[in-house]
Chain A
Amino acid sequence: MREVCDLVVVGAGPGGLAAACRAAEAGLDVLVLDAQPEPGGQVWRGEARQGSNRLARRWLTRFSASGARFRPGARVIAAPEPGVLLVEEGPSSFAVRYGRAVLATGARERFLPFPGWTLPGVLGVSGLQVLVKDGLPIRGKRVVLAGTGPLLLAAAATIHSHGGEVLYIAEQASAASHWGFALQLWRQPAKLLQGALMSAKLVSVPTSTDAWVTAAEGERRLEAVRLSVRGREEHLHCDYLGAAYGLVPNLEVARLLSCETSAGAVVVDDRLETRVPKVHAVGELLGIGGVDQALVTGELAGLVAAEQPVPLELERSWHRVRTFAAQLARHDAPRAELLRLATPDTLLCRCEDVPMSALEGCQNLREARLYARLGMGACQGRTCGTAAQTLFGWTGEDVRPPCLPARIGSLRIPSDVSSTPTRES
């Protein structure tokens, strides 16, 4: 089976939706692929049904009316030749031949290992938020959140509104860095409002900067956490811990397509085109910048793809959101203490059960992979690769297909897609 389109958009979060709307409204045949069953991405998860977020509702409505085609549950797994993607969709697969591509694959949480981090009941900050939105029974459950930046408050708000009891919010950043960041929000009125609204519901929750989890404890699942709070230790009994340290871009598809990356972000020109011609990158792929950056860059890329003029106001917005992204990166950088929490028997790679001690003598990520199986399992290093980079400064290896585990049959190219005939053996 195959699809042909002018523009393929990978990812239906705010960036992908904005790109798809702009391009489809200008007359392009746009195909949007997303692994989830509904558009909206992680940040607008569930908004397609509930519609409480006005901004999300506006874009999702616009997307429905744009004429762009949406394929839910579609995971890009390989890029066998320029202009072709292989996509797995439920029990079947198909190939997409595209003229241009916009990559809007978003971000994932950065996990750093600490004793007990693999216990059931320990999740990411946004990971826990997503589960709660998707129906995890949280009413009456005691939750500790630890991490950094605006995601902490967003998760706390969701958990609070679903009846969960947020016991503590531990922000790893120092007070100076945190309040400096908060003051910068004045330049970002929308973000300030969002932040203030979120905080208002949570006034009674103990919160501290210079605070982080040092260990999760429990026999079979999480029972308690140990926190370091401004130099003193706290011990809290709880049912769930959300602990993650900011976001990192999902670079796998971009790297599969051989897009150049630098400092953990995709390199683009002022048309948001990557070093690979006709492939654009938007949103978190450019460096973590949140919804505003995703929307602005998505619109820009959509207009460029459709060869439309770019309004000056949009150009200006882009420069503004880039400034915010740079500040966020400084604020979210994990502090040194977080890199020393793991003990020799703490697992770094949970797919392959690789403890920290197994990495003894390894000098780089390739050695860690080949000698100790780090990142060789089902998640393909998405979790431990990021942690190893943060802990040891090891940079990533080339992405090899499939960029997600996929059926062998899905790697086979339909014969009507190949640009040159396949010779039989």
Chain B
Amino acid sequence: MSAFDCVIVGGGIVGAALADVLSAEGVSVALVEARSIGTGTTACGMGHLVAMDDNAAELALTAWSVALWRELADGLPRTVEYDACGTLWLAADDEEMAAVSAKVANYRAAGVRAEVLDSAALYEAEPALAPGLVGALRVPEDAVLYPPVAARTFALRAQARGARLMTGCQVRELRPGGVMLANGELLTARHVVLAAGVASPLLCPGLPISPRKGHLLITRRGAPVVHHQLVELGYLKSAHGTDGASVAFNAQPRVTGQLLLGSSRQPGDGTREVDAKLLERMLKRAALFLPGLDGLQALRVWTGLRPATPDGLPLLGPHPEKPWLWLACGHEGLGITTATGSARLVADQLLGRASVIDARPYSPARFLSASGHEVAHA
């Protein structure tokens, strides 16, 4: 007899959201976190809830997840800072502006509201932007929130329904029928879910997840006002298109009156130190879009490690060789956005139900053969 129906290893936003969903379904859950809920990669990101259309699978998961967040928003405490500010994808030239129409069609097909802003409309919406931009794609239902408190809210809701919250609790080994803790205690469970982000391969060797480091900077309160999450369309080229370190302009208004600035990507970098040279490139890039940036007061710079997979999609579903093990990891920079959808997808599979979206594109089997070895990714 197992102590729990399900043990979730990893109390980031994904594990916490899953604990929330499963406990609401009456599943008995333990959520095991090595440190504190929502304080790892979850606490390092921007908290941008964004529909992304790099490919159909990404769009399906992000669009559904953003909609799920919207449904949840009214029930979240004020301290989650949910703010439906929308996203503006900024077009710096005619080539980027041409891409906007295709993206609008993509978004609308997926049920996501989207509209084109010409240059005049863009500057009316965001007068602080540097002159010379051609226009923008506006996705009004995107939002931002404060991820660590969102994760904690999920975990506390689960706890209120009887889930066991175990923080400061290191896991030594995942095994059929449960997990062995570092202190020697065995937690028995029918299902084990691995939702440990960048740490997942430590507990399940062979997972195709590697750290992709990012930098963020936050200003003091009273920064110049921007009204949307601002992202350069070139972000798609610079952030996803190369194997080397890259930067892109990404700025977010916080409800505190602070400005949160990104972004950088360093594939394969698992260190936590601020890389001054990459920060320099990131700030230089940002200053092109927001003039006067150099005069703002910076409060903190920090880094975070995104758990990246080779195709940019998370691993959601059963491990092909270990029927007792479920994966909910590898979300790279979209863990906050897709926490809601990821939790539903994994919960549906665990409970043997159909999901609103097709779960197959996120199946771990695309990388892991039934023999348990990593398969070459085409």
Residues of A within 8 A of B (CB): 78, 80-81, 363-364, 366-367, 370-371, 376-378, 380, 400-402, 405-413, 418, 420, 422-425
Q: Which of A367, A376, A377, A413 contacts B276 (CB under 8 A)? A: A413
Contacts of B43 in A (CB 8 A): 370
CA distance in complex: A402, B218 (Å):
11
> Taking the complex as formed, is B181 at the interface, i.e. its CB lies under 8 A from any CB of chain A?
no
How many residues in B have their beta carbons less than 8 Å from beta carbons of A? 38
With CB as the reference atom, state the residue of chain B lying closest to A378: B220
CA distance in complex: A378, B220 (Å):
7
Q: Are B281 and A424 in contact (CB under 8 A)?
A: yes
> Taking the complex as formed, is B70 at the interface, i.e. its CB lies under 8 A from any CB of chain A?
no
CA distance in complex: A423, B301 (Å):
21
CA distance in complex: A370, B44 (Å):
10
Known: A408-B298, A409-B294. A425 touches B277 (CB 8 A): no
> Taking the complex as formed, is B274 at the interface, i.e. its CB lies under 8 A from any CB of chain A?
yes
Q: Are A407 and B246 in contact (CB under 8 A)?
A: no
> Taking the complex as formed, is B109 at the interface, i.e. its CB lies under 8 A from any CB of chain A?
no
Q: Are A418 and B277 in contact (CB under 8 A)?
A: yes
Q: Are A411 and B149 in contact (CB under 8 A)?
A: no
Q: Which 8 interchain pairs have the tightest Cβ spacing?
A: A409-B294, A80-B276, A370-B148, A425-B281, A408-B298, A405-B297, A367-B36, A408-B296
Return the CB mask of B199-225 against A: 1 if under 8 Å, else 0. 000000000000000000101110000
Q: Are A408 and B294 in contact (CB under 8 A)?
A: yes
Find the residue from A378, A405, A411, A423 having the highest chain B CB count within 10 A.
Answer: A411
Known: A400-B274, A425-B246. A411 touches B302 (CB 8 A): no
Q: Are A408 and B277 in contact (CB under 8 A)?
A: no
Could you name 20 residue pairs across A and B whose Cβ atoms are closer than 8 Å?
Answer: A366-B35, A370-B38, A377-B299, A380-B299, A400-B301, A401-B300, A402-B298, A405-B298, A407-B294, A407-B296, A408-B287, A409-B293, A411-B217, A411-B298, A411-B301, A412-B280, A412-B283, A413-B276, A422-B280, A425-B284
Q: Which of A377, A406, A420, A425 contacts B247 (CB under 8 A)? A: A425
Q: Are B280 and A408 in contact (CB under 8 A)?
A: no
Known: A400-B301, A405-B297, A408-B296. A366 touches B39 (CB 8 A): yes
CA distance in complex: A400, B238 (Å):
26
CA distance in complex: A413, B278 (Å):
11
Q: Are B276 and A408 in contact (CB under 8 A)?
A: no
Contacts of A408 in B (CB 8 A): 217, 219, 283, 287, 293-298
CB distance from A383 to the nearest CB of B (A): 15
Q: Which of B167, B219, B285, B298 contacts A425 (CB under 8 A)? A: B285
CB distance from A399 to the nearest CB of B (A): 10
Contacts of A378 in B (CB 8 A): 220, 299
Q: Are A425 and B238 in contact (CB under 8 A)?
A: yes
With CB as the reference atom, state the residue of chain A lying closest to B296: A408
Contacts of A425 in B (CB 8 A): 238, 246-247, 281, 284-285
Contacts of B296 in A (CB 8 A): 407-408
Contacts of A411 in B (CB 8 A): 217, 279-280, 283, 298, 301
CB distance from B234 to the nearest CB of A (A): 10
> Taking the complex as formed, is B152 at the interface, i.e. its CB lies under 8 A from any CB of chain A?
yes
Q: Are B36 and A366 in contact (CB under 8 A)?
A: yes
Q: Which of B152, B294, B299 contacts A405 (CB under 8 A)? A: B299
CA distance in complex: A378, B294 (Å):
18
CB distance from A364 to the nearest CB of B (A): 7
> Taking the complex as formed, is B352 at the interface, i.e. its CB lies under 8 A from any CB of chain A?
no
CA distance in complex: A409, B293 (Å):
8
Q: Which of B152, B220, B301 contacts A371 (CB under 8 A)? A: B152
Q: Are A400 and B302 in contact (CB under 8 A)?
A: yes
CA distance in complex: A108, B221 (Å):
25
Q: Are A370 and B149 in contact (CB under 8 A)?
A: yes
CA distance in complex: A62, B280 (Å):
40
Contacts of A367 in B (CB 8 A): 36, 39
Q: Are B301 and A402 in contact (CB under 8 A)?
A: yes
Q: Are B279 and A405 in contact (CB under 8 A)?
A: no
Contacts of A418 in B (CB 8 A): 277
Q: Are B277 and A413 in contact (CB under 8 A)?
A: yes
CB distance from B244 to the nearest CB of A (A): 9
> Taking the complex as formed, is B168 at the interface, i.e. its CB lies under 8 A from any CB of chain A?
yes
Contacts of B149 in A (CB 8 A): 370-371
Q: A363-B168, A370-B149, A425-B281 are in contact. List 19 more A-B contacts (CB 8 A).
A: A367-B36, A370-B36, A371-B79, A376-B299, A378-B220, A378-B299, A380-B299, A401-B301, A402-B298, A405-B299, A406-B297, A407-B296, A407-B298, A408-B219, A408-B283, A408-B295, A412-B283, A425-B238, A425-B284
CA distance in complex: A422, B284 (Å):
12
CA distance in complex: A376, B257 (Å):
13
CB distance from B153 to the nearest CB of A (A): 10
Contacts of A422 in B (CB 8 A): 277, 280-281
CA distance in complex: A400, B298 (Å):
11
Q: Which of B246, B284, B299, B302 contacts A412 (CB under 8 A)? A: B284
Known: A367-B39, A370-B38, A425-B247. A78 touches B152 (CB 8 A): no
Q: Are B295 and A363 in contact (CB under 8 A)?
A: no
With CB as the reference atom, state the residue of chain A lying closest to B301: A401
CB distance from A334 to the nearest CB of B (A): 27
Contacts of A410 in B (CB 8 A): 298
Contacts of B217 in A (CB 8 A): 408, 411
Contacts of A376 in B (CB 8 A): 299
Q: Are B298 and A406 in contact (CB under 8 A)?
A: yes
CA distance in complex: A370, B90 (Å):
31
With CB as the reference atom, state the residue of chain B lying closest to A402: B298
CB distance from A366 to the nearest CB of B (A): 5
Cβ < 8 Å to A, chain B residues 289-312: 293-302
With CB as the reference atom, state the residue of chain B lying closest to A81: B276
CB distance from A31 to the nearest CB of B (A): 20
CB distance from B232 to the nearest CB of A (A): 12
CA distance in complex: A418, B281 (Å):
13
CA distance in complex: A74, B65 (Å):
48
Contacts of A409 in B (CB 8 A): 293-295
CB distance from A47 to the nearest CB of B (A): 32
